[in-house]
Amino acid sequence: MNADHRVTTERRGRVLVVRMDRPAKRNAVDAAMTAALDAALNELEDDPDLWCGVLTGGPEMFCAGTDLAQGPGSPTERGGNYGVVRRTRGTPLVAAVEGIAYGGGFEIVLACDLVVAGRSARFGLPEVTRGVIANCGALFRAPRPLPLTVAKQLLLTGQPLPASRAYELGLVTELVDDGGAEAAAVTVAEQICANAPVAVAETLKAVDAVAGLADEQGWAATAAAVAAVHVSADREEGVAAFLEKREPRWTGR
């Protein structure tokens, strides 16, 4: 097993298990974690002996998103934000979700190909409750596996979606008992690895090429929305209220 700051990796045959490992901060992403995630996924993509990856946050939580106190660091050259969400991959990546996948944590899930989740897992996009918006793909990726109205509900209310409902709607591909997500995700990864790697890689690239036709428009729309919110007083108030552990006082400006 290799450890790199806030991320550990473990090879299981042709499967690379990548674990976010910052439990005291609910796996919130800071600059060190972004760099470590980028390095781990570069390894997954570059090593011809690795045919599938599993991304997990461990047995209790997946990821609470951006570390608002520290910031997530700069986007990486190959992976973009968090080293993950703008990455072009030919190697499948399975998310194994326990506990919470909130904000950027959920957007990391949306950047994966398949999702295995424990029954108590929850998916949420609480950015609007902090005076900011989802800027790592959720604005256009959430409506792909989810009905548009459900995606809007997540984005506009900030309230989480239980794993059982996410499974019914097709976001979660396999629902398992709590604590079993990583093992189940590895099993799925091994099923993928039993197939011809060239066929798998080309299939994934073709599917992502079609799905990604709208991505550039999505990123442009996201950037415009982020720019508008960035200059608002509400953004500063939302982040300040979160860090000070108080209710925000919105002004609408």
**Span 225-231, average pLDDT:** 94
Contact call for residues 191 and 151 (beta carbons, < 8 A): no
Structure letter (DSSP) for residue 97: E
Residues classed as catalytic: 107, 127
Structure letter (DSSP) for residue 60: S
Residue 109 scores a pLDDT above 80: yes
Contact call for residues 158 and 124 (beta carbons, < 8 A): yes
Which pLDDT score is estimated for 239? 87
**Domain coordinates in residue numbering, the chain:** 2-176
In this prediction, residue 214 has a pLDDT band, given cuts at 50, 70 and 90, of: confident
User: Which amino acid type is present at position 110?
Assistant: L
Question: What pTM does this model have?
Answer: 0.95
Contacts of 159 (CB under 8 A, 6+ apart): 124, 153
Which pLDDT score is estimated for 26? 96
pLDDT tens for 76-85 read 999 999 999 9
Contact call for residues 38 and 86 (beta carbons, < 8 A): no
In this prediction, residue 5 has a pLDDT band, given cuts at 50, 70 and 90, of: low
Q: How far apart are CA 118 and CA 174, in angstroms?
A: 9
Four-point Cα dihedral 155, 123, 159, 149, nearest 10: 50
pLDDT tens for 29-43 read 999 999 999 999 999
CATH of domain 2-176: 3.90.226.10
